[in-house]
Structure 1
Amino acid sequence: MLAKILHMSLAAAASGKSWAFGGHSSGGVVVYRCMDHFASLITEPLAAARAISSEGMKWLPAAEGLELSELFTRLAGRPPSMPIAAFSFEGSLMPCDVEGWAQEWAEAAEPPDGTEEDLDQPGSQWTWPMVKACAGSLFANCDSSPPRQLASIQRWLELPEGPRFIYVAGSDASSAN
């Protein structure tokens, strides 16, 4: 997921048009990680380009990985245009966001009741091992002290001429507000 969003975001950045990116719930963690990668592209462009390109070749289909590498060639060492904003729609940040389920899912041998039908949705490529790994990663990121995502947000906000960061939560999300 991260490599796919990076690929799409960098394509938008290379286009010269205004763009933004965002994610909801556990997708917020992907947003925070993308923010880290874009911050690295500003502060250390060549090293970050190599790292992101390598990650893309590892996780994306071959054609998309190659396209991502070619994007960096087109950017020729200059940082990409930054988005007008990064959005997190109740993106997982804190231990309270994953409390009571993420660690349990990471350790469960079988999907909890009711989740099997979600995995069987047409077009879904999710498998239970993928969900377990995602839940474990979410738990580890949110459980660190301070939560890893808060460092990503701080780094983003400290960028020169930094793009906006917008966190959106509903009134019923009181534990995360």
Structure 2
Amino acid sequence: MPNNHLSENIIELYQKYAREWMAVRGEWLFEKVWLDRMLALLPDQAHVLDLGCGSGKPIATYLIEQGCAITGVDSSELMLQMARANFPEQTWLQADMRQLNLEQKFDAILAWDSFFHLTQDDQRHMFAQFARHAKLGTVLMFTSGPAQGKAIGELFGQALYHASLAPEEYHHLLVQYGFEVLKMVAEDPECTGHTVWLARKV
């Protein structure tokens, strides 16, 4: 399918521009309103699986400050080197989220600004991955596009692939894999226009 090949460049781009990206990203926690919604549903000392964790800043920083234990997964070794330097007491794994099988279940699964770099078919298959690492009550939060389609952004002059399913399909997949949708906001003005899904395994 057109542009799908660009999705395979994501790992290389975030490896090549890891330090530049982190400098641009900074530590402004615009996600806080949603992270707080997730945290309100979690037990004390929750274990969070962070898919596409990057350097751990600023999201893992905040979750750790709230008492969470983090297992971070990223495909960029350079990102993970920064994460290990920032938080050596946490667990950081180089892996492709599409093939992940940790034989472990978590209190929360987070895929923030990472899941939407996958192709539409890979996104569909990820719901089995979410379910594999979830137990009764596990909270799942991820960002998507607001409508079905593909978009090519830019990262330091390089084409950056994004894709999304229709909201109705995300809802169907969540239900199919045993998740109840708790909240979804498309292009949330309180979160820099992000489209966010919050669900729980039931």
TM-score by length of structure 2 reads 0.32
More helix by share: 1
Q: Which structure has the larger Rg?
A: 1
